[in-house]
Amino acid sequence: MTQRRITLLAGGVGGAKAAEGLMHSRYGQHATVIGNTGDDDRFHGLWVSPDLDTLVYSLADHIDRQRGWGRQHESYQTLNELKAYGEDSWMTLGDLDFATHIYRTNQLNQGKSLTQVTRSICRRFDISMPVLPATNDVVQTRIRFNNQWHSFQEYFVQHRCQPEIEAIDYQGIRQARITPEAEAAISRSDIILLAPSNPVVSLNVILAIPGVMDAIRNSQAYVLAISPFIGGKTVKGPADKMMHLLNASSDSQGVASVYQGLIDGLVIDKQDKDDALALRQQGLDVCVMPTLMSSLDDKIRVIEDALDSALAWSTQKEAC
């Protein structure tokens, strides 16, 4: 049987877990990950791509498992010295992590694209599964709270997701364009998988980039999403606080409404099995399973079961 091509759209810790499961699954050999760059920002003169780095560090097994981000076995001498100079130190960047940001910034300053730089970083960590930014252009998520606009990292890290959000904007989105590499990956996909990432500030940023939705609609791919909610709550992150900004509830029904017209199927946790009938009545294929991904075995199981279901559903539709 011909190996199916899989493209995963991913951001944050949930996206990284899904990417690990995909890489180690029986589908991993023909898979690509497209990552969120809306969290990118400049710190200490360096360009930092938190979601892309979390993907890379996770796939390379260099991630700090306890925190879910950053490098394992880190030290913080550089950050502590910057703090002694009076520099802001709320964005926790370790010494090993600084090397990645120095390399990325130098390469970008030399005219390399973010796609090229990310490919080089993947090679340094011996990652064979392609990790691609959706765009090489600068798109930055902005959060409005206390009547002012702030960067995503200010809200997420400095203020620990505490302020009440008034609005969200994707700065630079209208001028951005999908990369040829991301467009090609989407166009040739048999299955497009939306990771259990924050729909508002991880996946919608990718989907809003001009050219991404067109590529998905023009593909022949079956589109499947994994809900990030379990029993109406997120495993990690502020997605449940943000869904109201899209006029959606923080549950599997809300996920379905956000992705309405885009997805063919939805994976929901067994705790949310009572939502399955209503979702099916909306025309969605629904897979109910334990979706919590704690161990590597969990990650592989969730991804393989999800993709097996998508493959079966897409085959049925082709036969009709």
pLDDT, position 320: 52
The residues pairing with 148 across neighbouring beta strands, listed in sequence order, are: 145
What's the CATH number where 54 sits? Answer: 3.40.50.10680
Per-residue pLDDT tens for 50-75?
999 999 999 999 999 988 889 999 99
Residue 158, in any domain of the structure: no
Instruction: Identify the domain containing residue 274 by its residue range.
Output: 6-140+172-319
Contact status, residue 64 vs residue 74, Cβ threshold 8 Å: yes
pLDDT, position 2: 65
Residue 172 burial (CB < 10 Å; 0-12/13-18/19+)?
A: middle
Residue 148, in any domain of the structure: no
Percent of the chain as helix, strand, coil, to the nearest 5: 45, 20, 35
Q: What is the layout of strands, in order, in the sheet containing 31-35?
A: 131-133, 31-35, 6-10, 191-194, 222-226, 265-269, 285-289
Q: Residue 158 has what DSSP assignment?
A: I
Residue 181, in any domain of the structure: yes
| Tokens matching residue 143 | 């959060």
CA–CA gap between residue 5 and residue 200 (Å, rounded): 26
pLDDT over 80 at 319, yes or no: no
Residue 159, in any domain of the structure: no
Helices vs. strands in the chain: H and E counts, helices first: 13, 14
At 25 the three-state DSSP class reads: coil
Structural domain count, the chain: 1
Q: Could you tell me which residue, 320 or 78, shows the higher pLDDT?
A: 78
Per-residue pLDDT tens for 166-211?
999 999 999 999 999 999 999 999 999 999 999 999 999 999 999 9
CA–CA gap between residue 152 and residue 53 (Å, rounded): 16
HSE-CB of 56 using CA atoms within 13 angstroms: 24
Residue 51, in any domain of the structure: yes
CA-wise closest residue to 202 among 259, 150, 162: 259
Residue 53, in any domain of the structure: yes
CA–CA gap between residue 28 and residue 59 (Å, rounded): 12
Residue 55, in any domain of the structure: yes
Q: Note the pTM of the prediction, 2 decimals.
A: 0.95
Q: Report the range of poorest mean pLDDT among 207-216, 246-255, 311-320.
A: 311-320
Judged by phi (left if over 0) then psi (alpha if -120 to 50, else beta), residue 304 lies in: alpha
Cα dihedral sign, 288-260-169-111: positive
Residue 271 burial (CB < 10 Å; 0-12/13-18/19+)?
A: middle
pLDDT over 50 at 7, yes or no: yes
Per-residue pLDDT tens for 124-171?
999 999 999 999 999 999 999 999 999 999 999 999 999 999 999 999
Residue 153, in any domain of the structure: no
